[in-house]
Structure 1
Amino acid sequence: MSAFFKQRIREIRSITSIISLVLMIISLGALATNGLNMGLDFTGGMVTEVKVDNSISHEKMVETLQPALGQFTNVTHADQAGRWMVRYPIPAEGEQTADLVKVLSPISNQVEVISNSMVGSQVGQDLIDQGGLALMISMLSILGYLCFRFEWRLASGSLLALLHDVVLVLGFFAASQMEFNLTVFAAILAILGYSLNDSIIIADRIRELLLAKQELPIEKINDDAVIATFSRTMVTSGTTLLTVSALWIMGGAALQGFSIAMFIGILSGTWSSISIGTVLPEWLKLEPKHYLPVEIDSAP
């Protein structure tokens, strides 16, 4: 680690904390004004499996189907050559459902509809309810763990860093209006665990230094804790980002939302654990005495 970074670590932590708070406000504003563009998993829609010529590419399928079925049409490859799963919104009342055989005939010599099914709005609402319940249970479990593991001033920094990462991902999807589906929701649950891991490692180091170097101010202790764990954090985040980048590049449209959400969550989780996770305990006046055992008066 460079000497410049060590000398400016406190300044870097403060600046990134301000940036994080600004990004949270922007993300909440995007959520309030735009909302999330819920995918067919939540709103309901049609799912059709078709068989076409083996030479037809994914790009050609999307290029042909989107004008007829709408911009939110999703095409994924099935388990056999030439078979595709087409997901698209239910036509509005009064509109006719597009005939996929006619739509695909110009690009394929043979077009066969293997199956056709509809995901109703009630199923979508059930998924929203179950997803919200899963998110709430996850957050409550994490809150319980943090309260048990750390003193509340230190735990609050980790919890706010966790909320920051989720809000930033949701804000990005609200601002860009990318489809928010089950794979993106799964990425958010994964981000909760990943971000918490980084925050706990730094918080645990802060707790050790609070007991080992009680004469130092909390600002200096936080600086030392970040420096001590920085190499480990960068290696872990870097290797994970490489994996997520490979998914983003090679995974195609089916994994694009998941990959983007994970990429943003890993980046924000890395800097929030360094910035928010350490600065908030300073503002709350965390001191070594909060981790010292309580003295019991033995006098009668």
Structure 2
Amino acid sequence: MSISKMTISDRYFSNSNMTRLRKVMSAISIVLFMSSVMLVAVKGFNWGLDFTGGVVAEVQLSEQVTKNALKTKLDTAFQQDVQVVGMAEQDRWTIRYSQLTDTPQPNLVDALTTVSDQVKVLNSSVVGPQVGQDMVDQGGLAVLVCFLMIMLYLSVRFEWRLALGALAAIIYDVTLILGLFAFTQFEFNLTVLAAVLAILGYSLNDSIIIADRVREMLRGNPNGDTDNLLNESVKATFSRTMVTSGTTLITVSALWLLGGSALQGFAIALVVGIVSGTWSSVSVGITLPKLLGLQPCHYQVKAPVEVEGEYP
């Protein structure tokens, strides 16, 4: 292969280097996965009002006030971390807070009169604890159904070793996101759950692209070395994966930076999931099948056996 025709992955990653790199990535992935599991088990999540229940109110103030000043007053009045989100109109705000049962809470209008002379509550709704628990159950059911559909698809599409590698990569990505939210204690709400479901599909897409190429390489090289074939599959899809993930990250990063606090958790989960999905498709998606004994013979079409005998 001439230098001019070599791809970026061919120039910088030889088969020996790629094999070592995959092993290092796999070791790092194991550490991150175990750490995430421990964080979720020990620290748990900072559940949002969608799951715990609370009050959501839209108010209009007669005076201009900054978000920080308004939040400081409400945090002190309600003795908790009150969510304050500015709306399109400068004098309108969305306020979310939990209903504490162990301490008395002031009336929202009374709390707001400390920063504005006139306060108008445009609408207010209460999410009860039972509704919040129902959302937890429904969210968990949605993730479970998604996993079952993915397992069904993979079992039909690939040989079981590659299918198990793709499924393990998806589980790794979701666990990493959950571990991040447990570690940072960012609010886990319905928008974050939506991001987790989106990452399930994105991670599956990354894993399938590489798995498809692995399958082609194994079929076309019945006597080839499995490690070399896996490395060639990664290098063949490297440019496409980086371009796709890079352009998606640019869009999601803009959503993170410009979307405001309401979309922060959603954007963070997507950013981490996209990076993790690209990483795990190599460190988990094709490394696990190799450990399970994946060989080119598993994708060779067996010739029909002819039975000797008399035919009419």
Structure 2 counterpart of 1:181:
189
| Segments of 4+ moved more than 6 angstroms | none
Structure 2: distance between partners of 1:294 and 1:238: 41
1:5 to 13, 18, 23: 13
Q: State the Cα distance separating 1:288 from its structure 2 match.
A: 1.6
Q: Which runs of 5+ in 1 are unaligned?
A: none
State which drifts further: 47-56 or 281-290. 47-56
Please tell me whether residue 260 in structure 1 is matched to residue 268 in structure 2. Answer: yes
Partner of 1:59: 68
- Structure 2 residue aligned with 1:47: 56
Among 212, 234, 242, the alignment partner of 2:242 is 234
If you compute each CA radius of gyration, which structure gives the higher value, 1 or 2?
2
Counterparts of 2:73 and 2:62, CA distance in 1: 14
Task: Kindly state the Cα deviation for residue 50 of structure 1 after the two structures are TM-superposed.
Answer: 1.0
Query: Which residue of 1 is the match for residue 5 of structure 2?
Result: none
Distance 2:98 2:194 in 1: 22
Which one of 63, 70, 75 corresponds to residue 84 of structure 2?
Answer: 75
Distance 1:5 1:69, change over 3 A: farther
SS at 1:277 equivalent:
coil
Match status 1:197 vs 2:208: no
Report the counterpart of residue 4 of structure 2 in structure 1.
Answer: none
Rounded to whole Å, the distance in 2 between the matches of 1:244 and 1:98 is 39
CA–CA separation in structure 1 for the residues paired with 2:162 and 2:292: 9
- The aligned residue for residue 164 of structure 2 is 156
Name the amino acid aligned to 2:284: I
Give the RMSD, CA atoms, in angstroms.
1.6
Q: Distance in 2 between matches of 1:145 and 1:98?
A: 53
Tell me which residue corresponds to 2:3.
Answer: none
**Paired residues, number:** 299
Q: Tell me if the contact between 2:63 and 2:116 (Cα under 8 Å) persists in the aligned partners.
A: no
Question: Which whole-Å CA distance do the structure 2 matches of 1:251 and 1:68 have between them?
Answer: 28
CA contact (8 A) 1:65 1:73 kept: yes
| Other-structure match for 1:114 | 122
Match of 2:228 among 200, 220, 226: 220
> Normalising to structure 2: TM-score of the pair?
0.91
Amino acid at match of 2:170: L
Unaligned stretches of 5+ residues in structure 2? 1-7
Q: Tell whether the 8 Å contact from 1:6 to 1:227 is kept in structure 2 after alignment.
A: no
